[in-house]
Structure formats: C-alpha cells, structure tokens
A and B are shown apart, each in its own frame.
Chain A
Amino acid sequence: MIVSFGLGEGRLAIRVPDADLAAAVAGLFPDYHREGAVEDGPAVRLEARRTRDGYGLRGDPPLLGGEGEVTVGTRIELLTWIEAALARGLLRLRSGLTHLHAAGASLSGGGVLALGPADAGKSSLALAWSARGRPLLGDDVVLLEAEGVALPFRRLLRVDPERLLEHGVDPRTTPHWSDAYDRAWFDPRRAGGWCDAAVRPSLVVFLDRRRDAPVRIEEVEPAEALALTLSGVLSTGASPAASVDPIRRLLEGARAVRARYGASARAAALLAELAADPRATAEARTGAEGRSSDPDPTEAARSSPGSGAGGEGR
C-alpha cells in the first residue's frame, strides 16, 4: 500500500505493508495526507516493511538522517522514524523558504515565534498556546517567506505525556503513544488548530533555559536578534545567507526579547504567561519598510561626524 502526502505542488509517498500501518502513517501528517490511489513513481521515497524481528525502513538517505535503511523493534519506534523522515521530505518540498527551528502561534493581529535549541521548551510552549485556543504555526519548525511572514508547518506536537495531563489531555487518547514511549503526539486540531494563512509575527522570543535562573524577559538588540535567528535556520530550507533578508524583514516588524528561566515550574509559569497574554509583552515596533538590500553607508556618514572603526564579531 502507498500512503501519499502533498505540500504545495510537491508530492511525497511511502510504501507500507498493511492497512493498519497505512492508517497510522496517514495520521502522522493529517493536514498533508492525500487520499486516493497513488501509482508507484518517484514520489515514493520511503518503504516500510516487516522483518523477522520487527520493522525496517529504507529510502533516500537524506530523509533517514544519512542512513539508507534502519531497523527497529517496535511499531512506535517505526512510526517515530517515519514521522521524522516524512517531516524532512515534506520540508524539502518547500526548500525555497527559510525553515526556522521555532515554535509559533497566531495572535490577534500578529503572531509570536519562539526560538531555541532542543529541550528549550518550544513544544511545551506550543502546547500551552494550543490549549488556550491559539492557532499554531508549529512546535519545532516554522516556515518564513521572503517578506518575513510566517507559514505553518503542520506537524503533530511530540510532548511529555505529563505535560498533556497538565492541560487536561489524556495521552492515551492521542495518536501514536504507548506506555513504553516517553513522548505522546498531540494533534492541535483538537484545540486551537492551525493557522490557515500567513502570519506576520509581532514578537520573537529567544528561549534561554538556565539552571536556577529567575524568570526574566529582556530586550534583544536587532543585530543580536538577527544573529540568534540565523543560528536557528535549518538545513532543509534556504541557506542562512539567503535567509538574511527574510529574517531582517521579520525583525523589522517585531519586538525581539529573550526569555530566561531555570526551574521547570517557573518555566511553565512563564510559558503560560506568554501563552495567555502575549500581547502584553508584544508591543509591535514600527519597522522601516522597503529598505535597500544594497546599502550605502556613505550616505549615512555624511550626516555623522566621525565614528570609531573596527568590526565586532558575534
């Protein structure tokens, strides 16, 4: 059986050995699943099969973290590998856009992006937003267009089951979870859903989890915000160099802050505060529009009496 997915004009498909697995795989990306029979062809870039000891998954190495084939013992492990491979494949269908390692949600009149490394709290933040009815842009990847507006990447949230319980969701009722697995998949369509249009973020948050640090939100200067955002550009999309201008346009219309926190309880409070009333900390800064991409500092120098020299690396 072949399960097909689509994003934009692109198609991606996987061959699976039975109907049960086909239904489970289709549920990994319900918004991108395409019904109907699919012919074998170049879109079929993954194949799952049963083995004597479990399951095998083979396909394009870039989709499998560089491996040509992986073998796993359980169905939940197989689904985890398939989900990651499909995510990489779907993202490559939009490789012309900037892919940010970020969580995001829509607010009234704008949006918020939260960037940070793995375990910085992005998925917990996305879950908190979703549980409060905010349409999501993503919990791990958000797409950025050339104009600096954000598009959703509709990927199920993988979160700590205890975190789901905190929001009143029984992890046993979410798709693809087992007692032996430390993550549950949460479908935002059960709560705030997904953004159905491009969103212009008004707040960009850099998550900075530090042991025992008090919760604090502080402003981030534009150059540092650009550097931090560039560090969150994923390799599946436009290059960092090609992402400079989209990110500049994003930051020209958004306030950039760093959210520092330590203990998880305090982190949860911060995330809930941001999720509950992000506009309280998101006064949109007026951004200059239509800036030239080929700047001429000589013009600025004419109205400035001297200035020290030297570049400052960051």
Chain B
Amino acid sequence: MSPEEAARREVPDFPRSRDDVVFRELADDWVLFDPETRRLHVLNLTAAVVWAHCTGEHDVEEIVRRVRGAFEEPPSPEDVRADVEEALGTFAREALLAPTDEGSADR
C-alpha cells in the first residue's frame, strides 16, 4: 500500500460512508456490499449503528456519544469507544469510507 493510499485509508475526523456502498439488514445481520470489490461485509449491531452515523456530520466523539445513546443498557464509555474505533478502523481499512477531502466537503 502506498503512503498516499495509507493516508487515504485513515479514519477521517468526520467519517462519511461512501455513497455507492449498499447497507442492508439481512435476517439477524447487517451487511455492507462494496460494488467496487464485490465484497460483502457482515456487521454486528454496534458496527451497524456506527455505520449509520458515518454521515460526515459527526466526529468520533459524537459517534461514541450517539452509539451509547442508542442502547437502552449502554456499555461503559470506554468499551463503546473501543468498539467504535475498531469499527471505524475496519471501515477505513476496507476503503468503505469516502476519501478525506470528499468526507469533509459537506461540513
């Protein structure tokens, strides 16, 4: 991976999902389909909530707060932060997020 590619795959300050990635509920799972790689990614519920908040309008702190708020019996802030960062890292590594310049364009 080139340095440019690695930089592109870092988690943006305001993560935004790529417009062309298909996000659907399927039975008990949540799935993302990347039409570029033709790969299907299966998300657990927390990762699905994180994805739903990758709108380019929220920074990581806000996403953590919103994910905690989504659960009736929320885990500890530390656990939620770890889960959110893990999910965002996976999204970035799999190039499922919009590039940084594109991701910050709407703010």
Point out residues on A near B: beta carbons under 8 Å: 221-223, 226-227, 230-231, 239-241, 244-245, 248, 251, 291-293, 295-298, 300-314
Contact = CB atoms under 8 A, between A and B. Distances in A.
Nearest to B79: A306
Nearest to A302: B72
Contacts, number: 125
A309 B42 contact: no
B34 to A, nearest CB: 9
Interface of B: 20, 22-33, 35, 38-52, 67, 70-75, 79, 82-84, 86-87, 90-91, 94, 96
Contact of A311 (B20, B24, B32): B32
9 contacts: A222-B28, A223-B26, A223-B40, A293-B24, A295-B25, A301-B46, A309-B44, A311-B96, A313-B90
Contacts of A314: 39-42
Chain A to chain B: the 10 pairs with minimum beta-carbon distance, closest first: A309-B83, A297-B48, A305-B73, A222-B27, A241-B35, A301-B70, A306-B75, A227-B40, A295-B25, A311-B90
Contacts of B39: 227, 313-314
A306 to B, nearest CB: 4
Contacts of A226: 26, 31, 40
B44 A310 contact: yes
Nearest to A309: B83
A245 B26 CA distance: 10
B30 A297 contact: yes
Contact of A222 (B22, B29, B45, B79): B29
B46 A307 contact: yes
